[in-house]
Amino acid sequence: YSLFLSSCSTSFVCLLQGWVRSARAQKVNVFLHVNDGSSLQSLQVVAGAELNDPLLTFGSAVEVSGILQESPHEKQPLELQADSIRVIGECDPVDFPFKVKKRHGLEYIRQFPHLRCRTNAFSSLLRIRSEATSAIHSYFKDNGFVQIHTPIITSNDCEGAGELFQVEPAGADEHFFSVPAFLTVSGQLHLEATAGAFSKVYTFGPTFRAENSQSRRHLAEFYMVEAEISFTQSMEDLTKVMEDMFRSATEHVLARCVEDVDLFHRHVTPGHRVSLQVFLSFVLLSSLRITYTEAVDILTRSSEQFAFPSDWGCDLKTEHEKYLVKHCGNVPVFVTDYPYDLKPFYARDNQDGPRHTAAAVDLLVPGVGELCGGSLREERLSVLRARLEQLGLEDAYSWYLDLRRFGSAPHGGFGLGFERYLQCLLGVDNIKDVIPFPRFSRSCLL
């Protein structure tokens, strides 16, 4: 009703259905704030004392009919003068885990995954998440990408990292699909198949990784935005899409969810607004770019004691990524050209040496670490075949080799973790607070 309220100037009959956010009874009048989830703002309901009901408590579901009219109070343009109030669903204020007018922390409300959308903070988060989803789809649509529904069940392990959930009917003693099948860890390979006929494709859907991690940036089920672009000339073709998408989605959300974002930036993660503005201005002007080799040099020269080795050839761990972002001034940084042996078979061989690298890229951002990961893909049939043979994968990926046999074009793509994007936008520390129902190792509530 927020849009409707701002455009309405005359009074008319209205039916309001929602949940009580506050109830105050005075001698002559009862005042309620009722919220239906469409906006952070609740609508004020004014009723004669005769309509008061002890069941009108914080959290109860109500239906109010009356006249919507201009409000004498400055803070709200309109209020509902009630003719009738019906309590549709009671809410025991003692047992209800959230208390009226109390600002509960994200950690507290996380204990109630089935109820937390009733708090202001989490309902704001869900509206922002919904708007960010639309913004990402709009970005791709406006830029000529075709959306592909890549499968959730697949027989391949795209990342080759062995973090697969296997899919079989309960109690089955043979494979349902005749072959082992898994929940997807990335839609990339299927996107690559379609990138053989469409020059720009994307997918945006659930992704699954059996990572045994309780970290603040890993989930077992998360949403990934993936894009694949054909006829690429260089890595810049990828980093530009990452930057443009980030900027376009963020500007869209900041413009459309002013109050919801404000709630986070003011009360939940104070100070984050400034960091985000710095971040955006960097993305606008072009983010920093360093090679993996330069990153390793920075780490080796630092006086920091890292728990994991940071020699050339070692994977960059969270602690390294955090240090690099800090070292670069807490701004987004692209790290490119990783050691060839660290990257999956599909990453394009830079054919350099003796420090042999592949054309892969990660976008590291303050507070979150890796936000996007991508690469140019090996489009040369002979090079790809040799690598698959070396890994003993040429039979499993003969279909993938076909993509290079028939009209292969240079191409590349990337994946962005949607929850990490929301963390970055709002400054939320724990990834479990930006997804409606988090799944992670040893926890699958509801």
- Binding of ligand 4AD by 413 (CB under 6 A): yes
- Binding of ligand 4AD by 66 (CB under 6 A): no
C-beta of 58 vs 246, nearer to ligand 4AD: 246
The two structure tokens encoding residue 383: 């090079």
Under DSSP, is residue 72 helix (H, G, I), strand (E, B) or coil? coil
**Cβ–Cβ < 8 Å for 203, 185:** no
Cα gap 154→89, rounded to integer Å: 44
Q: Which of 370, 381, 393, 401 binds ligand 4AD (CB under 6 A)?
A: 370
At which residue do the structure tokens 């724990």 appear? Answer: 430
C-beta of 215 vs 281, nearer to ligand 4AD: 215
218-226, 282-290, 298-306, 401-409 -> range binding ligand 4AD (CB under 6 A): 218-226
Q: How far is the CB of 419 from ligand 4AD (least distance, A)?
A: 6
Q: Which of 159, 321, 349, 379 binds ligand 4AD (CB under 6 A)?
A: 159
Report DSSP letters for 269-314, one per residue: STTHHHHHHHHHHHHHH--EEEEHHHHHHHHHHS----SS--STTS
C-beta of 67 vs 391, nearer to ligand 4AD: 391
- Binding of ligand 4AD by 414 (CB under 6 A): yes
Q: How far is the CB of 129 from ligand 4AD (least distance, A)?
A: 14
Q: What H or E segment, with its residue span, contains residue 223?
A: strand 221-230
- Binding of ligand 4AD by 218 (CB under 6 A): yes
Q: How far is the CB of 273 from ligand 4AD (least distance, A)?
A: 22
Cα gap 224→416, rounded to integer Å: 6
Cα gap 411→233, rounded to integer Å: 8
Q: How buried is residue 66: exposed, middle or buried, by Cβ count under 10 Å (0-12/13-18/19+)?
A: buried
C-beta of 404 vs 420, nearer to ligand 4AD: 420
Q: How far is the CB of 236 from ligand 4AD (least distance, A)?
A: 16
Report which DSSP code applies to 111. T
- Binding of ligand 4AD by 335 (CB under 6 A): no
Under DSSP, is residue 198 helix (H, G, I), strand (E, B) or coil? coil
C-beta of 64 vs 360, nearer to ligand 4AD: 360
- Binding of ligand 4AD by 419 (CB under 6 A): yes
The footprint of ligand 4AD on residues 223-242 (CB under 6 A) is 224, 226
C-beta of 60 vs 150, nearer to ligand 4AD: 150
Number of residues that bind ligand 4AD (CB under 6 A): 22
**Cβ–Cβ < 8 Å for 440, 219:** yes
**What phi and psi values does residue 337 have, to the nearest 5 degrees?**
60, 70
C-beta of 66 vs 415, nearer to ligand 4AD: 415
Q: Which residues are paired to 251 by β-bridges?
A: none
Q: Which residues contact 297 (CB under 8 A, 6 or more apart)?
A: none
Q: How far is the CB of 282 from ligand 4AD (least distance, A)?
A: 18
Helices 236-256, 418-426: inter-axial angle, 10-degree rounding: 60
Cα gap 259→262, rounded to integer Å: 5
- Binding of ligand 4AD by 200 (CB under 6 A): no
Q: Which of 34, 167, 335, 372 binds ligand 4AD (CB under 6 A)?
A: 372
**Cβ–Cβ < 8 Å for 189, 389:** no
Site string for ligand 4AD, 374-393 (x = CB under 6 A): x-------------------
At which residue do the structure tokens 């391949």 appear? Answer: 156
Q: Which of 42, 186, 230, 287 binds ligand 4AD (CB under 6 A)?
A: 186
Cα gap 435→423, rounded to integer Å: 10
129-137, 164-172, 216-224, 347-355 -> range binding ligand 4AD (CB under 6 A): 216-224
Q: Which of 417, 426, 433, 438 binds ligand 4AD (CB under 6 A)?
A: 417
Q: Which of 420, 423, 426, 438 binds ligand 4AD (CB under 6 A)?
A: 420
Q: Which residues are paired to 230 by β-bridges?
A: 411
- Binding of ligand 4AD by 79 (CB under 6 A): no
C-beta of 1 vs 346, nearer to ligand 4AD: 346
**What phi and psi values does residue 332 have, to the nearest 5 degrees?**
-65, 140
CA-angle at 234, arms to 322 and 250, nearest 5°:
50
Which residues of the chain form contacts with ligand 4AD (CB under 6 A)? Answer: 158-159, 186, 188, 209, 211, 218-219, 222, 224, 226, 370-374, 413-415, 417, 419-420
